[in-house]
Structure 1
Amino acid sequence: MPRLDQDNRTRYWRHRGIAGLSLMQADFTTHEYAPHSHDALVVAITELGGSEFKSGGVSQEALPGEVLVFNPQAPHSGHMGRSKRWRYRSFYLTEPALAAIGRLTGSDTLPYFRSNRLADPSLVRLLAALHEQMDIGGDAEREEELLVSSFGQLYQAHGEGDRKPDLIFRDEGLLRRAMRIMDERHSDTVRLEHVGDQLGLTPFQLIHLFKRGIGLTPHTYLTKIRLHAAIKAMKDGLPIADAATQAGFYDQSALTHHFKRAYGLTPRQYVLAARRILPRRSNFYQ
């Protein structure tokens, strides 16, 4: 029987927007997983401690800094081993979620993973950010970008199977068109899939196009455009909350978050400062 402990903590929820996607956050002090399998692709990252698991007749250790992946229907078991604590985040993707991600990343079929442990620190960071964003919500565009970036990297760097080749060119015309679409629609929800459809690109290709062309992700570029729009609206006398939603931010707190990260002060501080007479030489936020 699995060993349980009253100090164990787990949170499990289904994603509201992506059918077939479930998530879990677990913090174990004593736990054993009996041999089992899932109808889902399982992708997990260890945040603290670790565990020992067995899959395909091979015993291994789950450690921070690595991605743990189990193919659908692959039997595996696990226990705490030498670790006194195991804190991790995991994704469970059944057919509907896999199909949706396949469309976003340009993968024709689900890649097969020969290794359960993937040493890829950048992928760990992407998956951690995605899991946290899916937990807190409130920024669907950032979540979409993280979803495409993380699972696109997982599939293309570590999976085996049919997939559409990524773009290996730098097309300034495509980039200008993508930026123009975002400029014109920044006040609405801008989905990578919709922009990509107009350019003949997958969302994964679109992200790489932006990174190669201007060194920013689409979400970062869109946030910059929205910040400029919010500044203009506040200069025109619009209340901060109205300026936020008009610029395309979820609410005033979202504007404040991004504004402070970009400029080191809050929108309110900016508005109060703008009411004062600034020195002639100042071109602050022009």
Structure 2
Amino acid sequence: MADGQLDDAAPGNRTDYWRSRRLPRLRLMQAALTDHSYPTHSHDAFVIAATEAGGSTFYSRGAHQTARPERLLVFNPQEPHAGHLNHSPGWRYRAFYLGEEALKDLGVETESTDLGADGGADGGIDLGFAHNAIDDPALVRAFLALHRRLDRCDPLLADELMQQSFGVLFRNHGRAGRADPEEALDDRRLARALELMRARHGEPLLLKSLAQEVGLTPFQLIRRFRKRLGMTPHARLLQFRLEAAARAMRQGAAPSLAAVEAGFYDQSALTRSFKRAFGVTPGQFARAERRNSYQDPKTVDT
């Protein structure tokens, strides 16, 4: 099938998720969606997505934009965003997920000390992206080529592909500083509410009690969450729980145990929320994290 064309004979949502054999801390996903909508969520890693065919509408930074071929999407860690197909018959894309360690493993040359590639004060790589949508057809093609060939080509070619994709992205579109939207809050009451939710994500929380602890009414708390973070308190609590479940599965916990530890009622509740937010099931995620060596990804139809 050529890029830019959808296969109308393949209804439903199909996703693959795996870890790179060459860079095991780099996660990759391939998706073909016909009816999936992503609720407001975030990731603990950079997300870079290249559209192969079709498109979608996504919401981030207070604005609606579109995903389409020849446009690269980038989201900083912990940056809330949502998406749905809108009027498109489907969306086929490939994505990279780069946590802090995977970013270091890439070893791409940014040619700019301004990006903080040598590490910030805490030893982390201090960079981010000012825009979610980058209209650069050549860069999209470079990322698609890397995604398809990273683990199935000569090492020298893989290095070249990484320089042509990640290297160009960081050099041309990266910026110094990678502010966490929550750490940057100057609203002390909202920041305190987030701190409490992060610490107690595994417990049943009541809106009234949480609001009282930070000196707000329930209505005021909801309004501040919506205005500053683009999501409700419950949506943010759900995100904390999803992040906790993902951490547990990365450490080897089975999805059933990760669900309980993270505060979900049962594994089915985790599965529903995890699939909606991240496009893959906890089982797919856990299997990819358990692999000590690369295996071809398994496709799951939903």
Q: Give the TM-score normalised by structure 2.
A: 0.49
Q: Which letter maps to 1:96? A: E
Aligned to 2:63: 58
Give the drift of 1:24.
0.7
> 1:122 aligned to 2:127?
no
Structure 1 portions without partners, runs of 5+? 163-286
Helix, strand or coil at the partner of 2:131:
coil
Aligned to 1:261: none
Aligned length: 157
Are the counterparts in 1 of residues 54 and 90 from structure 2 also a CA contact under 8 Å? yes
Aligned to 1:150: 165
Which has the larger displacement, 64-73 or 18-27?
18-27
Give the drift of 1:138.
3.6
Matches of 2:38 and 2:80, distance apart in 1: 11
Matches of 1:104 and 1:98, distance apart in 2: 12
> 1:100 aligned to 2:105?
yes
Per-residue deviation, residues 23-81 of structure 1 (Å, max 9, x unmatched):
01100110100111101100001111100111122111111101000001101111111
Matches of 1:146 and 1:40, distance apart in 2: 21
Matches within 5 A, 1:63-82: 63-82=68-87
Give the drift of 1:152.
0.9
Change (3 A) 1:14 1:62: same
Give the drift of 1:20.
2.1
Matches of 1:48 and 1:95, distance apart in 2: 29
Over the matched positions of the two proteins, sequence identity in percent amounts to 49
Matches of 1:45 and 1:124, distance apart in 2: 6
Are the counterparts in 1 of residues 49 and 94 from structure 2 also a CA contact under 8 Å? yes
> 1:134 aligned to 2:150?
yes
Are the counterparts in 2 of residues 98 and 110 from structure 1 also a CA contact under 8 Å? no
Mark the structure with the bigger radius of gyration. 1
Q: Which letter maps to 1:129? A: A
Q: Which letter maps to 1:35? A: T
Matches of 2:127 and 2:169, distance apart in 1: 9
Per-residue deviation, residues 126-152 of structure 1 (Å, max 9, x unmatched):
1011011025x1422211210122111
Matches of 1:159 and 1:95, distance apart in 2: 15
Q: Give the TM-score normalised by structure 1.
A: 0.52
Higher helix proportion? 1
Helix, strand or coil at the partner of 2:38:
strand
Q: Which letter maps to 1:156? A: R
- Larger RCO: Structure 1 or Structure 2 (Cα < 8 Å, ≥ 6 residues apart)? 2
Give the drift of 1:13.
0.6
Change (3 A) 1:52 1:145: same
Change (3 A) 1:66 1:103: closer
Q: CA RMSD in A?
A: 1.9
Matches of 2:109 and 2:88, distance apart in 1: 37
Matches of 1:30 and 1:141, distance apart in 2: 39
Helix, strand or coil at the partner of 2:103:
helix
Are the counterparts in 1 of residues 60 and 81 from structure 2 also a CA contact under 8 Å? yes
Helix, strand or coil at the partner of 2:94:
strand
Matches of 2:53 and 2:78, distance apart in 1: 27
Are the counterparts in 2 of residues 70 and 113 from structure 1 also a CA contact under 8 Å? yes
Helix, strand or coil at the partner of 1:142:
helix
